[in-house]
Structure 1
Amino acid sequence: MSASPLITGDGQLVDIGDVHYNDELAAPQTYGVMRFAHTSDALRGLVRDLRDRAAREARPLTDFMDISGRSGHSRIGLDIHLTGEAPMVSDATRTVELPVAVTALNAVLAESLADLRSLCGDGGVDFGRLFIPRGPAVGRAEIAEAIERGWLLLPSRHSVAEDGVVEIVLENLRYVLSARLLGVGRNFAEMVVKGKHGLGIFQSLAPTGLPARLPAKDFMVGAVHIALGPFTAFLNRPTNRDGVFHLASRLLDGIRTSGISTPRQVELYNSGDAPAPTDGLAVRLKLYPPDGQVARLAERVLLPGRSREVLAAGVDFADLTDIFSPTGSRALFDEVAADPSDGGIYGRVLMPGKMITIPWEQEEGVWLQEFQWRLIYEYARGNVPEGVLEGEEIPKRMRPFLDDLKYVGGEQKLSKVFVADALPPADTLRVLKRNGIGVVAARGMGCHPGKACRPPFFRMDQTLYEELVRLEGEGMRFYLLLEYNGHAQVREFFRGLWVTREGKEHLPRIHTTMAMFGSACDVLGPVLEEPIAAFLQKMRDHPRLGEGFAVAHGSGPGVMRIVDDAAAALGIFRLGVGIDAEEIGQIPNFEPEAVAQFTNLAMNTRQDILDRRSLFKIFNLGGFGTSYEVNMALTFLKIGQCLPAPYIFIDPVGFGPNGEPFWRQTLEQFATLSSDLAGGGHVLGPLGPRWVVNCCHEVRTYEEGYAVMAAFVDDPAAYWRERGIAFSRVRFARDNLKKAGVPIAPYIEEALEGE
């Protein structure tokens, strides 16, 4: 295979000159020097040789090397390119300096170039990388082979030329900047210093997509789709339209540029004198072989049978790190303390090539939480220089982890990691997200109000849970290192639940969940263990369910533990959603593949999860808690937040009055409130729809319950008709659940399509 290109780290812009006007580009421009410090002997020698060769052969320097600017700078229209003057190489200072021109091609930035002096005068702002190809680009045949293997994904509108140049047509996407926000305070500085991580609140997709034409002397941010696999790509500056060129952000990294559905922004300028049609406008790029490290990562991540799936979704944080291993995860917490008196740090921020330690914020020996949250904010914004470790300052044990972070794919938001003993409050998590931190790892949820932090507190309140759901939906990742009773496991917050690695892989395949409610008393074990196990096996073996079937329970003892143990033995996916029952002596069960634990005040949130996610409900023998769950479940059914399906009320012994079924009086009350009510000369009518009660089935055995549920799975439409349930009600509930992200079983969709 040909040699991979040499790609440096970021260089800094220094020695900036006065701003002048470039008539050809119709834009303000300044000249400066890009300096690469602490360079290797190999890099300096190579730059010297190529500089001399370009002069000797009278060829442009860009035939041998080029600059790729930072993505965030190009996205706001700030372009940087080589002037063609000879590089300056110094062995004494171990620097390489390249004369460059910086141009503000976005009219909104016309008054901002002068601000670069103060920002870049001390050489502290990264401005771009040096790209030096050391061999030919990948050829057409090798590109075809990579596509066949699933190591390269290209959109439908692409072509590959004989020389291997790939041409990709722009999608109907355009990004716009807020001119008003750009004019506020230090916002320009925020974008220049942070690059694309500082753009979140200034740039957004335009609702109108691409314009029909790109006007002359105008700037535009569009997008293409590509998933590179291990290859490095370098965009040509010219596009397929005369006069339209791509700005400086031209380097696409191997592994990192993955996720075919993720738009890759392209920044274009029409330097011509006439508008350029955007229909068919395409960028061109060349692919280059990976270096050794990227090739090894590709072999580890792009496994046979999974490579196409991984590239399509984007190489995830968990794909590249050992985060799901308790041993690997503990390394992130090695100096993080649970309390200021322990002598460790509060937390840290990890990112490619950099590590920040955050101290405990105390006054007179007392931890001040509000000050701590503000300190996190300032560290996230980069306003506190203390505790920042780079290069040789980073402990060797952390360097491999930090190095892997730069290859995270998708939208590339997961390369900055916040680590603390406990999750900070919801508003602090939002600040982390706003400042480009995409991953949070903790050992607990924080301190219980009025209690110490030991042992770790695992329960969420409603505010924290809702914020975690929102942030996960926006692309953040949350990991929890659970250590209890001598056991350790790592879980990710995924689709509203804390899941194991296996749970994350399996949960998307679940389409039918059955919630099992019942007493926390262990005395029922001898009565229920065998019939529940046999019942679950029949459900699992139903041909329409199989691995798409799961059970959910309250994550406690008694009936809940019986169900969990039986499901585990049968390989059935389990969801444990509990509340803080330790105060009454119940120990939570962390064995299910997916769990969530809530404070008692978040009981309704917990019930919402159990009810919405489950199609079937089984009410076993139970007390006040189970009675509450019955009423909540039927209320959710009535208001269209659950699909009409069998709700099974079971008593295999006859614990009701005179040996009657335990739930009979409850069901009789429901039948009463859904009947025509009259009394005392008043006609009230029903207080609830009859069809809700029609979904309630009183059974003596689990076999009877299975027969009702199996008949529903085989023909849902017949069940709805027999029970007087309008198909409009079913569709209404189906649509509500889809909006909430709840999967709908295929046999439900088939039944609705058939009507």
Structure 2
Amino acid sequence: MKLAPFVTGDGQLVEASVIHFNQDLAAPQLFGTMRFSHVSDSLRGLVRDIAGRAKSESRPLEDFLDVSGRSGHSRIGIDIHLSEGEPHVSDKTKTIELPVVVSALNRHLAESLSDLQALASRTPVDIGRLFVPLSDHLSREEVLKALEREELLLSEGHEIGADGVLEVPLENVRYILSQRLISIPNNFAEMIVRGKHGLAMFQQPAPSGLPEEFGPKEFMVSALRISLGPYTAFISRNLNRPGVFHLASRLLDGVRTTGIDTLRQAEIYNRGDDPVPFRDLRLRIKLYPADERVSAITTRVLKPGKATAILARGVDFAEITDIFNAEACRALFDEISAAPGGGGLYGRIMMPGRIVTIPWEQEDNRWIPEFQWRLVYECARGNVPESILTGEEIPKRFRNFLHDLKYVGGEQSLSKVFVSDSLPPVDALRVLKRNGVGVVVIRSINMRGSRNGGNPEYYLDQSSYEEINRLWREGMRFYMIFAQDEACHVREFNSGFWVSAEGKERLGRLHTTAALFGSVVDELKPILMPQFEEFFAALAADPRLGEGLAIAHGSGPGVMKAADDAAARHGIYRIGVGIDGEKIGQRTNFSPEAVVQFVNIALNTRQDILDRRSLFKVFNVGGYGTSYEVNMALTFMKIGHCLPAPYVFVDPLGLGGEGGHLWRKSIEQFQELSSAHKTGQAEIPPLGPMWVVNCCHLVRSYPEALTVIRAFLDDPAAYWSGAGIDIAKVLEARDNLARAGVVIPPYIVQALAPYDRKDA
């Protein structure tokens, strides 16, 4: 049985000698000491035994253990490896010290070792971990079985050697540093101390990709693709070509290294005297079993049938943690208060191995918001040492949570979590993101005040919504506890909505949304409910819709609640997009799988979401609000921000006077607007296109509404032709929605395919 390798935490560079020049590498070097503190008895004994064996067999120490450097250091060209000499193991101080050589292989950072030397003289600098194999790496047969069991994904072009060593090609990617930015004082120190999290502002992919050749004595940062389940990978020092080697950051952790589309940086150096074609280079990687903790996480996260998809996209924060469990989520708020006068903390930043506590910032017994946001910034940068808890200082109730954070996959940007009662301003969110915080967990959008009795609020203004959406698209995650009555649940912000755990799972399968508009009058609910039941049952059973169907509504009572209840009984995905109706006595419905709520002044933002996201619009019996929604919806279709499709107006009660249709005069008004007029002064052309009115259908029952929708599903192109719609208008609307991230239904894609081919 193969054993998991032993991997330590970071050791520190505590001594650094004078700088020398290595002629073979054409690079400066310094000799130093790497110290591991608070070392366990077992590790001290293991290293002592290894040193004795290496000495007795006259073999180098590297045959038995190796150093894996920090990713951020390797990415700027700082390499580290073991030097000649034996490790010093002290039982008295519980330390291990090893001699190391640090090389500066990036010629653009000529002074980096001097800066590192000065930094290490002031404070210990994290420099690398020990990697100790306890058995052989996986064989070829074991690697092939791992692929079959959906425990491993490899990039195209890989090869598995007879000995089980993987050979993986470099991607056509080259990273470059901004020489001007890294020359600014303190930036180098920030990169050294914060590692790869300090590099985002200084290092980016080059537009040109890899050159043809890798020149002699050159340093290069490229990338590879690999996704690991219950395995630890170690990149061999030497590549497949003599003279080309990989810098010290060579360890790839199990589970954490997931997401086949996520680039993993490869830092290489050509110590030879001749150029090497990049197309010939292959990284050599050995796989080892992961430890018991990682194997347990893998069993929990990589479910059969879903493992490949998870490995492909990367293990998510919500999969690693129990964040959707309301009790577990609420535990993160221990000692965090809702207001400065209540004592406790403003918030905390949680990450693997440490917690940063953020107190309320008050001067003269008054809370100063500007000071608070600056304190958040300084705490995020690690500039408030008294706020940092590590080791035994960390409360035991948080330790498992912090430990699991290190296994978040993908870009690995979701391992720092900001927890506060309410959402900070968007500028503060940006500061948190720049400092590596990828997750925000809150209980309320706004700080709780006396005006709302200290209750949480879930209503966003337009700027906050747009910024959260933007940060989400950039990879940040937001979670909020929704509390109603005695119950509470947790939602994640995803694709513009706060979604439940189930809602997140189903969201990616949606392609067709029907928006339902109508009055908040509760007396309408029992009248409309029987027809709603039949209407939604038929839609849910339509094979062209199936799991791709959702309904959207305004989260209010009356018609909206009737539609929501009926859709829920038939398993239809529900989206609630509302405004702060509680201000006018309307209780908000937070039961749909996806919700987002706005302050009243953001009414147009709310309507924009309802209209863009929905294909079909169903206007039920309604009043002033519904009349506004009719006008907005038709305008969106006219300007090409909604696909031309049936807009159905339903009045089963005959509220239009003398039993007529409630919406008849509204449609007649739009017909007038879309007709030419002759006056005594001029001939006035139509003020709007008649095809918009042709998409409006007055019906007296929901079975009639269903007939209209089914006819469109049967043949969208025939519907557009019958309504007098130029197909170019449909293509324009399709492209506008696709650019906005709206999913185009498959039957629309199929209907437009012949016209796309003609355009091509």
Please tell me the TM-score bracket, short chain as reference: over 0.9
Contact 2:346 2:360 in 1 (8 A): yes
Residues 132-159 of structure 1 show CA distances to partners (whole Å, capped at 9, x for unaligned) of 1011111111110010010011112101
Contact 1:12 1:123 in 2 (8 A): no
Structure 2 counterparts to residues 615-634 of structure 1, below 5 A: 615-634=615-634
Alpha-carbon offset, residue 121 of structure 1: 2.1
In structure 2, distance between residues paired with 1:450 and 1:608: 32
> Are the structure 2 counterparts of residues 729 and 69 from structure 1 closer, same or farther at C-alpha, using a change threshold of 3 Å?
same
Q: Which residue of 2 aligns with 1:88?
A: 88
Q: Which residue of 1 aligns with 2:174?
A: 174
Q: Which residue of 2 aligns with 1:9?
A: 9
Does residue 491 of the first structure (1) align with residue 491 of the second (2)? Answer: yes
Q: Which residue of 2 aligns with 1:308?
A: 308
In structure 2, distance between residues paired with 1:715 and 1:18: 79
Contact 2:448 2:454 in 1 (8 A): no
Residues 440-482 of structure 1 show CA distances to partners (whole Å, capped at 9, x for unaligned) of 1000101389945710111001111111111111111110011
SS of 1:698's equivalent in the other structure is strand
Contact 1:338 1:453 in 2 (8 A): no
Does residue 264 of the first structure (1) align with residue 267 of the second (2)? Answer: no
Segment drifting more, 229-238 vs 683-692: 683-692
Q: Which residue of 1 aligns with 2:474?
A: 474
Alpha-carbon offset, residue 125 of structure 1: 2.3
Alpha-carbon offset, residue 4 of structure 1: 0.9
* Structure 1 residue ranges without an equivalent (≥5): none
Does residue 358 of the first structure (1) align with residue 358 of the second (2)? Answer: yes
Alpha-carbon offset, residue 695 of structure 1: 0.9
SS of 1:288's equivalent in the other structure is strand
Does residue 644 of the first structure (1) align with residue 649 of the second (2)? Answer: no
In structure 1, distance between residues paired with 2:551 and 2:251: 48
In structure 1, distance between residues paired with 2:668 and 2:449: 42
Q: Which residue of 2 aligns with 1:536?
A: 536
Q: Which residue of 2 aligns with 1:754?
A: 754
- Matched residue count: 755
Q: Which residue of 2 aligns with 1:74?
A: 74
Residues 384-437 of structure 1 show CA distances to partners (whole Å, capped at 9, x for unaligned) of 112211111111111111110111111100111000001101111111111000
Q: Which residue of 1 aligns with 2:230?
A: 230
Q: Which residue of 1 aligns with 2:212?
A: 212
SS of 1:34's equivalent in the other structure is strand
Structure 2 counterparts to residues 713-728 of structure 1, below 5 A: 713-728=713-728
Letter in 2 for 1:330: R
Contact 2:421 2:447 in 1 (8 A): no
In structure 2, distance between residues paired with 1:117 and 1:348: 33
Residues 470-502 of structure 1 show CA distances to partners (whole Å, capped at 9, x for unaligned) of 111111111001112111000000111000000
In structure 2, distance between residues paired with 1:416 and 1:365: 31
Structure 2 counterparts to residues 23-38 of structure 1, below 5 A: 23-38=23-38
Letter in 2 for 1:97: E
Alpha-carbon offset, residue 178 of structure 1: 0.8
Structure 2 counterparts to residues 267-282 of structure 1, below 5 A: 267-282=267-282
In structure 1, distance between residues paired with 2:449 and 2:751: 49
Alpha-carbon offset, residue 123 of structure 1: 4.1
SS of 2:280's equivalent in the other structure is coil
Letter in 1 for 2:248: A
Q: Which residue of 1 aligns with 2:319?
A: 319
User: What root-mean-square deviation, in Å, do the aligned CA atoms of Structure 1 and Structure 2 show?
Assistant: 1.2
Structure 2 counterparts to residues 359-508 of structure 1, below 5 A: 359-447=359-447, 451=451, 454-508=454-508
In structure 2, distance between residues paired with 1:142 and 1:732: 52
Contact 1:170 1:280 in 2 (8 A): no
Contact 2:448 2:455 in 1 (8 A): no
Residues 612-667 of structure 1 show CA distances to partners (whole Å, capped at 9, x for unaligned) of 11000001111111111111111111111111100011111111133221111111
SS of 2:345's equivalent in the other structure is coil
SS of 1:662's equivalent in the other structure is coil
Letter in 2 for 1:74: S
Residues 61-107 of structure 1 show CA distances to partners (whole Å, capped at 9, x for unaligned) of 11011110000111111111111321111111111111111111112
Residues 539-594 of structure 1 show CA distances to partners (whole Å, capped at 9, x for unaligned) of 11111011110100000001110001111111110000000111110011110000
Q: Which residue of 1 aligns with 2:59?
A: 59
Letter in 1 for 2:532: I
Q: Which residue of 2 aligns with 1:593?
A: 593
Alpha-carbon offset, residue 264 of structure 1: 0.7
SS of 2:287's equivalent in the other structure is strand
SS of 1:309's equivalent in the other structure is helix
SS of 1:54's equivalent in the other structure is helix
Normalised by the length of structure 1, the TM-score is: 0.99
In structure 2, distance between residues paired with 1:447 and 1:631: 35
Structure 2 counterparts to residues 584-733 of structure 1, below 5 A: 584-733=584-733
In structure 1, distance between residues paired with 2:19 and 2:675: 83
In structure 1, distance between residues paired with 2:414 and 2:617: 38
* Structure 2 residue ranges without an equivalent (≥5): 756-760
Does residue 242 of the first structure (1) align with residue 227 of the second (2)? Answer: no
In structure 2, distance between residues paired with 1:525 and 1:719: 32
Q: Which residue of 1 aligns with 2:128?
A: 128
Alpha-carbon offset, residue 677 of structure 1: 2.8
Identity over aligned pairs, percent: 59
Alpha-carbon offset, residue 706 of structure 1: 0.6
In structure 2, distance between residues paired with 1:697 and 1:150: 51
In structure 2, distance between residues paired with 1:346 and 1:124: 31
In structure 1, distance between residues paired with 2:190 and 2:237: 27
In structure 1, distance between residues paired with 2:526 and 2:692: 33
Q: Which residue of 2 aligns with 1:580?
A: 580
Q: Which residue of 2 aligns with 1:341?
A: 341
Contact 1:170 1:224 in 2 (8 A): yes
Contact 1:230 1:294 in 2 (8 A): yes
Residues 719-754 of structure 1 show CA distances to partners (whole Å, capped at 9, x for unaligned) of 111111122111111111111111111000000013
Normalised by the length of structure 2, the TM-score is: 0.98
In structure 2, distance between residues paired with 1:427 and 1:195: 24
SS of 1:349's equivalent in the other structure is strand
In structure 2, distance between residues paired with 1:89 and 1:518: 76
Segment drifting more, 722-731 vs 456-465: 722-731
In structure 1, distance between residues paired with 2:65 and 2:504: 44
Contact 1:231 1:254 in 2 (8 A): yes
SS of 1:67's equivalent in the other structure is strand
Alpha-carbon offset, residue 342 of structure 1: 1.9
In structure 1, distance between residues paired with 2:584 and 2:124: 57
Letter in 2 for 1:235: I
Letter in 2 for 1:607: Q
Letter in 2 for 1:118: A
> Are the structure 2 counterparts of residues 693 and 352 from structure 1 closer, same or farther at C-alpha, using a change threshold of 3 Å?
same
Alpha-carbon offset, residue 275 of structure 1: 1.2
Q: Which residue of 1 aligns with 2:758?
A: none
SS of 1:16's equivalent in the other structure is strand
In structure 1, distance between residues paired with 2:119 and 2:644: 62
Does residue 516 of the first structure (1) align with residue 516 of the second (2)? Answer: yes
